[in-house]
Amino acid sequence: MQRHFFRQTLRSQFWKSSDQKRKFFRNSSNAMKVIPIPDNYSYLVIDESTNEAAVVDPVEPEKVLPIVKQHGVNLKHLITTHHHSDHSGGNEKLVSQHPGLTVYGGDNRIPALNYTVKDGEEFKIGNISVKALFTICHTTGSVSFYFNDKDDKAVFTGDTLFIGGCGRFFEGTAAQMHNSLINVLGSLPKDTKVYCGHEYTASNLKFALSIEPENLALKEKFEWVSQHTQTVPSTIGDEFEFNPFMRVNVHSVRKATGEEDP
């Protein structure tokens, strides 16, 4: 009887209303939630501890805004990885339909840009720390955005790092791409989730298999991808296992490209 009374007393103290219950859970942890929105990937990123949200590369606002409404979040930030229209083409429409957004990017060619980030600059999405990492080559203003909270890590790479591949060298050099992949993105914690801009994984891995046909991790990943239409996220650590552009110093890759003798 006393035990029952004790339980009831605790419940009355902590759960006076469903609103308080939701508030308790919301504030008890700093949880980052990432919702991929295909086909050219956009992402809704939610800090569940504050209900504050950002959208990354929202090229199709008509797909993004219903998901924002569905989750009932406070959308305050628009993050753009680079100026190409298949990433930034929805910026002006989204800002017109959702005024007051802070639009981040590293290139003044980005539509509706109102906050130009510097390399290494940090800002907040709710309680999530975000760091701008210049990953130049695909464009001269390409930026990857590294999100970090106490429980999770993610990087949004646009068209720099793909799962199993990398972007085209439209405005940069191979040396710049190498630096972006190996020295910048490759220095992130290995469990950092990788969210890229397009679903190119199957074709990327076919090419990778032509370079390293005996790579077991690569063969297992290719088999997994053959059964999934959405392959994000990967991780930085995984990319070092099967992405040939992250494995340029590995003997089997150097051999396949003629950089080392058999």
Give the contacts of 244 (CB within 8 A, at least 6 positions apart): 207, 208, 211, 212, 253
Cα-to-chain-centroid distance, residue 36:
9
End-to-end CA distance of the chain: 79
Distance CA 173, CA 162 (A): 17
Distance CA 218, CA 209 (A): 7
Could you please report the per-residue DSSP string of 221-242?
Answer: HHHHHTT-S----EEHHHHHHH
Distance CA 115, CA 256 (A): 44
What is the layout of strands, in order, in the sheet containing 128-134?
Answer: 122-125, 128-134, 143-148, 153-158, 193-196, 234-235
Other CB atoms within 10 A of residue 210 CB? 10
Q: What is the identity of the amino acid at 28?
A: S
Tell me the H-state helices in 15-60: 18-27
Catalytic residues: 82, 84, 86-87, 138, 159, 198
From residue 178, how far is each of 90, 154, 168, 244, 248 by CA, in Å? Answer: 30, 20, 12, 11, 9
Total H helices, total E strands in the chain: 10, 14
